[in-house]
Structure 1
């Protein structure tokens, strides 16, 4: 037994930190790959009406471009640890960038919605490892004493991406073509992959061949895909009046139940559900997932409403949403200094209160709203954005042993990203349902048997010099616009209420001071 240590290969020592210009260049290209990834989570938001029109589909069908990317991304995230062990950290990172670049090209040349959706599924799937690996690579590149600085730079990049997406996507769509929102990834991806490989190819991590939980992965894909398709197609197929939706619901429920049983009993699960036994992980993960679902769902609806009902161009809708990044970027470095000396639960609570206030402001929108009153809540939303991710991540990972941090980070990220995709579908369906409800209420007395309605139509004809058919069309347009506004206000108000209701989830967790454990996730 005394000789045992000599027969076990020693773990290789990590490579030394990079220095000088090499460190600066490495940080830039790794952050660039991260930026490219997170940019694509939102760059298509403002282009959905244009993409839908060009491909001959409805806007509701067009939102699949966003949701299938998020769903595929959610499924692939838990596989990052297993793939890293088999392929190596650097090879996986560079390979993911190149595959992401290829998928972007396929998205750009897509001649139809099904082809575009398949390309977006590929793009989302290969993007899964980029976020966790970019953090790990940056942390290995910087001295431990400056790890907080590395994460602050990374956080700024990850924050700016989703915010710059609508602005950049709107400008490209208006000036060129929607295809170019994907083509721009090609030179960026090739450059980032090439320079990353040049700097890091001698810093590859050791590999081994761990078993893969094939059954768990198949069940994961089945219930995620079934649920996502059910949510996206439910409105078009009359929900549970359709046998297709019923079949999807049954498939999702059964596969999810078997997934839970299998993963809780499997020796090497693809998703370690036992982590939910820990109070901090449970409360923090549910809180960040629900909050992200509400946030991301609204992030998709706002530019869509501005383009459909306020006649904003894609670029103008992007400009309105861009101020979200001002305070988010300014306050990100401040958070790195404040969090180590504060209770993370207090900061996260302030973030949720801030989000609730912003959505309450938006619930007061009217159809005659000017641009400034659209921009103001978006600008203010940058404050809770800066207070959002880091404290909740610190709560989620608090007390985790080092060997479990990758699994905890992967599972919490999976829950967050998947809920973002589901939130997009739910928000779109809820807006449509509330719009229909308000339309019915607004038109319940609009009939030829109502003298007041007939009088209003005659007055419109007289003032505008139009015929009866045109007067009815104008009335219908006005009602549609007002109903959509009222429906959106309902969504905003409900979002504010949800943010208040999930605050107790933060306080079921144990106190956490300091953000050091958050190094492993976002």
Structure 2
């Protein structure tokens, strides 16, 4: 495509919009639709609770690693070519996910999904800007944003319905007809200009960073099962991660001109602070989405459809908040909006940390909605402030690193919280067991005393199951409590960001479209 298509027939513009939005919705939907099906996947694939989390982390890590190279690939091979490859690859890997017969197969398929899906959201946003004249950009971005946000709103509910009425495999098979329609539309209606930008890409720096992130993720995912540094595997992964990251740092410091990561980015306080906060946002968002469905289904006995319904309000809250946040930015201090968003997030985490085994559906939906509001009121001003003082020549690299920070935070957050959950559950089980004595059992009502008679195998097994459930529930509460304190401790960091309007006015150029789109995409992903 060459520039703006002001003379494009309206029918063709509509078909392009539908085609690319199908691809976008497919990608954003897939990042949330699988979460509610995790307990069913675990049973079908004979995986433990911490192992099945690899289904989420593998996708996130792959997308994080593949996102920064998207711009170079588009410049070299053309937008349409990369778009077609991404849609086809994402659709095929989705089918492979649904056909998986063991944990290794689905993790590998999810890795492919992340690699091919990384380009879909930024490419669809770029095409929307390209096919509309400047005066229609705001309207086009509103349509694009609404489409992107359908994922987190519909994902949990649709995933629950498909899993309950068919099987968890259909949360992946559903992408097949959507992908085929999107692929046909992009093929027939989008045309490349043929121009290519043969820019140089820092493959060495990129590879070292990718290896470091991948090894760190494997260490975190496998650490609990492999006895951490008592295992040769974990020590090898740790050494590889340290060596790769060391090479990346040395390469970046000594080859600033062609380096994948521009050192000048670290000279901007707003950008560095924004990266740290965005990292935390990714951690809080994905860790919560990963923890809630197993807790609701495995411990509280929620049907999968109900789990989807009560977790969907989080996406709805994000959508509502973004409608207001976009209008507030520029009118009041962005740090105040950020503080308000973080306060809402902290409130939601505090409410979750106070859960009991007798909570209702409303008790789950309401904190989720509040957390969604917090995310919406945080991501929009955060993106604006992060790029408001950054040299526009660095914004292209800055957007890639910005997106990378959120994805890395998400994958690390899931792994760390799951590890803490397993460890705290084991610790609490041992602690609770110390209170079980013959005297304490005799003090119970007669019916319970006979039910939990330690002299019988069924009684001991039943009592152990009760202890497991109680210990696991306390483990979940500990995770939510930790995320509450992380949110509170991060709030003073907001003061490190500058809201100097003179700098913003001086540049008279907003952050690039892809940076602005991140504020919406984070809610979808």
Relative to the length of structure 1, the TM-score reads 0.91
Q: Look up the SS of the partner of 2:195 in the other structure.
A: coil
Residues 1:61 and 1:204: Cα distance change in structure 2 (over 3 Å): farther
Equivalences for 1:46-57 in 2 at 5 Å? 46-57=36-47
> How far apart are residue 345 of structure 1 and its match?
2.2
- Judge which range, 367-376 or 300-309, deviates more: 367-376
Equivalences for 1:97-496 in 2 at 5 Å? 97-201=87-191, 203-204=192-193, 206-266=195-255, 267-447=257-437, 450-456=438-444, 459-462=447-450, 468-496=456-484
Q: Is the 8 A contact 1:96 1:126 kept in 2?
A: yes
Q: 2:73 is matched with which residue?
A: 83
Q: Is the 8 A contact 2:352 2:480 kept in 1?
A: yes
Residues 1:453 and 1:465: Cα distance change in structure 2 (over 3 Å): closer
Cα separation, 1, equivalents of 2:83 and 2:494? 33
Deviations 1:48-93 (CA, angstroms, capped at 9, x unpaired):
2211211222222111111111001100011011111111122212
For 2:485, which of 497, 501, 505 is the aligned residue? 497
- Judge which range, 454-463 or 47-56, deviates more: 454-463
Question: Where does the alignment leave 5 or more consecutive residues of structure 2 unmatched?
Answer: 519-525
Q: Look up the SS of the partner of 2:234 in the other structure.
A: helix
Deviations 1:409-442 (CA, angstroms, capped at 9, x unpaired):
1110011112111111111111112222222221
Q: Does 2:48 align with 1:58?
A: yes
Q: 1:23 is matched with which residue?
A: 13
Q: Is the 8 A contact 1:263 1:269 kept in 2?
A: yes
> How far apart are residue 104 of structure 1 and its match?
1.0
Q: Look up the SS of the partner of 2:436 in the other structure.
A: coil
Q: Is the 8 A contact 2:64 2:404 kept in 1?
A: yes
Deviations 1:311-355 (CA, angstroms, capped at 9, x unpaired):
122222111101123332234333333324233222122111110
> How far apart are residue 125 of structure 1 and its match?
0.8
Cα separation, 2, equivalents of 1:396 and 1:304? 35
> How far apart are residue 250 of structure 1 and its match?
1.6
- Judge which range, 182-191 or 464-473, deviates more: 464-473
> How far apart are residue 459 of structure 1 and its match?
5.0
> How far apart are residue 118 of structure 1 and its match?
1.2
Cα separation, 1, equivalents of 2:194 and 2:333? 35
Residues 1:263 and 1:128: Cα distance change in structure 2 (over 3 Å): farther
Cα separation, 1, equivalents of 2:7 and 2:108? 40
Deviations 1:228-249 (CA, angstroms, capped at 9, x unpaired):
1110011111112212112211
How many residue pairs are counted as aligned between the two chains? 508
- Judge which range, 204-213 or 282-291, deviates more: 204-213
Cα separation, 1, equivalents of 2:321 and 2:512? 17
Cα separation, 2, equivalents of 1:135 and 1:127? 14
Q: Look up the SS of the partner of 2:291 in the other structure.
A: helix
- Judge which range, 292-301 or 508-517, deviates more: 508-517
Q: Look up the SS of the partner of 2:511 in the other structure.
A: helix
Cα separation, 2, equivalents of 1:156 and 1:273? 36
> How far apart are residue 467 of structure 1 and its match?
7.4
Question: Where does the alignment leave 5 or more consecutive residues of structure 1 unmatched?
Answer: 1-11
Q: Look up the SS of the partner of 2:329 in the other structure.
A: helix
> How far apart are residue 518 of structure 1 and its match?
5.4
Q: Is the 8 A contact 1:286 1:505 kept in 2?
A: no
Residues 1:403 and 1:367: Cα distance change in structure 2 (over 3 Å): same
Q: CA RMSD in A?
A: 2.4
Residues 1:367 and 1:229: Cα distance change in structure 2 (over 3 Å): same
Relative to the length of structure 2, the TM-score reads 0.91
Cα separation, 2, equivalents of 1:461 and 1:204? 79
Q: Is the 8 A contact 1:461 1:468 kept in 2?
A: no
- Judge which range, 372-381 or 284-293, deviates more: 372-381
> How far apart are residue 184 of structure 1 and its match?
1.0
Q: 2:497 is matched with which residue?
A: 509
Residues 1:353 and 1:173: Cα distance change in structure 2 (over 3 Å): same
Cα separation, 1, equivalents of 2:225 and 2:422? 11
Deviations 1:374-400 (CA, angstroms, capped at 9, x unpaired):
121112223213213221111222134
Residues 1:464 and 1:67: Cα distance change in structure 2 (over 3 Å): closer
Cα separation, 1, equivalents of 2:421 and 2:452? 32
Cα separation, 2, equivalents of 1:491 and 1:466? 32
Q: 1:4 is matched with which residue?
A: none
Residues 1:466 and 1:248: Cα distance change in structure 2 (over 3 Å): closer
Q: 2:59 is matched with which residue?
A: 69
Residues 1:232 and 1:117: Cα distance change in structure 2 (over 3 Å): same
Q: Is the 8 A contact 2:442 2:449 kept in 1?
A: no
